[in-house]
Structure 1
Amino acid sequence: MSKYALPRAVKELRFILGESGSLSDGLRSFVLRSYPTLRKHNPSVPILVREAQGVEPIVYARFGLGKESSVSVSGKTDKEIEKLIAQLVAQ
């Protein structure tokens, strides 16, 4: 199994990041590097990338019955973000 294959419990994955700014650099790098592989291994899971000005970079995972979890990735590197997402979806 790939490290990018999400558990069946994950119904949606959302990335919220700033259009510019150093706090979102790691998440921007992660999305550019990992999005194609995430999409390939999870074809039925919506993976949303939203950019806005002046927002804190956050990753949300939505599970069944409306349960949602999030993790702030402000100022983190793309490798740190990869580990945080793995923890987030393992809940």
Structure 2
Amino acid sequence: MAWRGQIAKHVKELRILFCQTSPTSSNTRSFVEKNYKELKTLNPKLPILIRECSRTEPQLWARYDMGVEKCIHLGGKTEEQISKALEDLVKSGAGLKS
């Protein structure tokens, strides 16, 4: 999982949106609880914004250079799938720079 330490090289900002109570957001909440500290430690200057709002569908947003943004909807995904979605967004950012 070396890619986790490279997030800030390819992504300017991460936003994770979810509901505090809905079952649809439970895996996203768990992912944030288990992974936020490591992600922030490995990428201390990367803004990682956590947005909790009632009845919000879980989503992962990445902002890249030139204001380009991509979103992945996380409803129904496991924590492993959420991690894979984050990895895909990071790799997508690496492709935008070439």
Alignment TM-score, normalising by the size of structure 2: 0.87
**Cα shift readout 1:34-88 (whole Å, capped 9, x = no counterpart):** 0000000001100010000001100000001100001000011111100111111
1:2 corresponds in structure 2 to 2
Identify unmatched segments of 5+ residues in structure 1. Answer: none
Matched with 2:27 is 26
Deviating beyond 4 angstroms after TM superposition, the runs of 4 or more aligned structure 1 residues are none
- The residue matched to 1:20 in structure 2 has which SS? coil
Q: CA deviation at 1:9?
A: 2.2
| Cα RMSD, aligned residues only | 1.2
The 2-side partners of 1:76 and 1:55 are apart by: 15
**Distance in 1 (alpha carbons) for counterparts of 2:82 and 2:70:** 15
Name the amino acid aligned to 1:47: I
Q: How many residues align?
A: 91
Could you tell me which runs of 5 or more consecutive residues in structure 2 were left unpaired when the two chains were aligned: 93-98
Structure 2 counterparts to residues 53-64 of structure 1, below 5 A? 53-64=54-65
Could you tell me how far 1:21 is from its partner in structure 2?
Answer: 0.9
Shift of the alpha carbon at 1:7? 4.9
Aligned in 2, Cα 1:47/1:7: closer, same or farther, shift over 3 Å?
A: closer
Match of 2:95 in 1: none
- Kept in 2: contact 1:60–1:69 (CA 8 A): yes
Q: CA contact under 8 A between 1:29 and 1:78: conserved in structure 2?
A: yes
Q: Distance in 1 between matches of 2:78 and 2:88?
A: 16
The residue correspondences of 1:1-91 to structure 2 (distance < 5 A) are 2-5=2-5, 6-91=7-92
Which has a greater percent of strand? Answer: 1
TM-score (norm 1): 0.94
Q: Which has the higher helix share?
A: 2
